[in-house]
Amino acid sequence: MSAGMKTPLNDYWLLWRMALSTRHPRASAIVLALAAVATILVALLVQLKNADPLMTAGFALRVAFGGVMMGWMLYFVPGAVKLNTPFTARLVPRLRRRLIELTALVWLVAVVSGALMTQGTRLSPALVVLGTGTWLAAYGLGQSGNRVGAWVQFAAWMTVVFHEHLPAGLVDALRGGTGFAVAALLMLAFGALALQWMFLNGGERHYAAHEAQILQTERLTVAGQFKERKQHRIGASLYELVLRRDSAARHSGRLLAHLLGARNHWVYRALAMAGVLAVGVVAMGLLHFFGSADLQDMIRNIGWAGAALLMLGALFDCERRNVRLKDTATEQALMRLVPPLPRGAPAFNRQLAGTLLRVGLLEWAMLAATVLCLGLLSGATPANLGLQACLCCLTLPVVAANLRDHAHRAGLLGWRLLCGFVLSVCISFAVGAAAHAVFGLPMLAGAALASIVIAVTLVANGFRRAESAPYAFPAGRLA
């Protein structure tokens, strides 16, 4: 290989590893290893089933490509945006140019591969090229903190969902000829704009955009914990009102809850739920006017169950509170010294546990109310709404996960929370099945009752643990 060719390839390889290492030191090796393992596994399975080397190679190629593309999307793009700071863009030789080249190259390969993969299917290569190209460009734009990217991605998904309602003439025009050429040019222009935005070339504009980029690319810490997001205007105004009210009331318990930060206050949760409901109303409206009869029937019959999946959000809420308690350790040092909080670790921890439980229950209740409202919107029957309420109760034990020995253990519970939740659901269903067999109680109702009992037991245990633990604040100091 000539030296002229070797330098860009070396640069690309270096940048790939650097971009991925912004998320995890060994992310590059992990991504490549996972892609390799998945490829070998799929190839083996396909070969065993069909004994057709050509087909096996085709599948293996698709999986390998898919694995690398996942790495590119989830790790490389945000990492690359992060590498291109206002300082590095201007002062580090070749960096910005190589990042643009590499991103564009992978984008091109993805688009062409997408078109090739349509061979032998009913999909139109032209539409796949346009869809893949536009969506990937929008994804990159979104990852650089530009909201237009997120909106274009949303529009792309909606186009896929409601493709039957697109004007047939327009779709036909895009399949080839002048229509395709014009759309492809527009896609390329959008892609170029996205690249330009993703990799700004320093200066005031870059500094101005950098904050949004950091918010987008650094949502997680290196340890994989959520970072506090920026407040939005409506939320900030409402939060100010509530903070002023709580300060005027001098209620130490309520003031303690503010330690979790504005974004974790119930005001923001209420706003988020209102947003979810608004989206639900719009979606149901669209479905009513444009959805097929079959789709409407399906939503009416099982939409409530889909909405119940939102209750899994309780796990994320719980984790967010745990992470915030770790992140605000210095603030907690000040809170330890403020006069009205109880004296001594047991009393202090009891008050903190009470506050966290109140916050957890309130957020759980808001989530459950939203889910039930979505069920109502979807036209669920009263019986199905009852089932939905039972499903909501299955997540109730999660609220106890914030009642822990914060001094020794802080931050994410991770798989422990997930395993605990799965165990609780299994026990609840086992109890529900037993109650159904013995008393004839509907199984889901029995499971819901069991979950409530589990929640009460866990909360009682959590309070006992908190009372015997060292001072909870500053959290994580004994970890």
Partner 1 sequence: MTTPIIQSSDISKYFGSAIVLNGLDWQIMPGQVIGLLGRNGAGKSTLLECLLGLRELDAGSVRIDGEDVAQLSEATRARIGYVPQKSDLFEWMTPRQMLGYFKALYPRWNNAKVDGLLARWGFDPLMQNKPISKLSGGEQQRLSIIRALAHDPELLVLDEPVSALDPVGRRDFLRELIDGVIERGTTVVFSTHILSDLERVALDLAFLRDGKIALQGRLDDLLEGARRVVGPAALLDKPLAGELRRQRAADGTVSVVTYGGVAPVSSGKDAGVRVEALSLEDLFIEVTQ
Residues that bind partner 1 (CB under 8 A): 228, 231, 240, 243-244, 246-250, 252, 255, 258, 261-263, 330-331, 333-334, 336-341, 343-345, 470-471, 474, 477-478
CB of 411 to partner 1, least distance (A): 18
- Rounded Cα–Cα distance for residues 347 and 345 (Å): 6
The radius of gyration of the chain's CA atoms, rounded to the nearest angstrom, is: 26
Nearer to partner 1, 55 or 215 (CB): 215
Say which residue the tokens 């997001």 belong to.
229
DSSP assignment letter at 412 = -
Nearer to partner 1, 256 or 394 (CB): 256
CB of 338 to partner 1, least distance (A): 4
Nearer to partner 1, 243 or 272 (CB): 243
CB of 293 to partner 1, least distance (A): 48
CB of 476 to partner 1, least distance (A): 12
CB of 255 to partner 1, least distance (A): 6
Nearer to partner 1, 252 or 301 (CB): 252
Q: Is 154 within 8 Å of 203 (Cβ atoms)?
A: no
Which amino acid is present at 264? N
CA 318 to chain centre: 14
CB of 29 to partner 1, least distance (A): 29
- Rounded Cα–Cα distance for residues 369 and 388 (Å): 11
- Rounded Cα–Cα distance for residues 85 and 150 (Å): 22
Among residues 362, 351, 360, 358, which one has the least CA distance to residue 319? 360
CB of 282 to partner 1, least distance (A): 30
- Rounded Cα–Cα distance for residues 110 and 107 (Å): 5
Residue 447, burial from CB neighbour count under 10 angstroms (0-12, 13-18, 19+): buried
> Cis (ω within 30 of 0) for the bond into 86?
no
End-to-end CA distance of the chain: 52
Per-residue CA distances from 298 to 84, 161, 287 (Å): 47, 15, 11
Which amino acid is present at 302? I
Report the C-alpha dihedral over residues 235, 238, 239, 243, rounded to 10 degrees.
180
Report the C-alpha dihedral over residues 100, 101, 102, 108, rounded to 10 degrees.
110
The distance between the two most distant Cα atoms of the chain, rounded to a whole number of Å, is 80
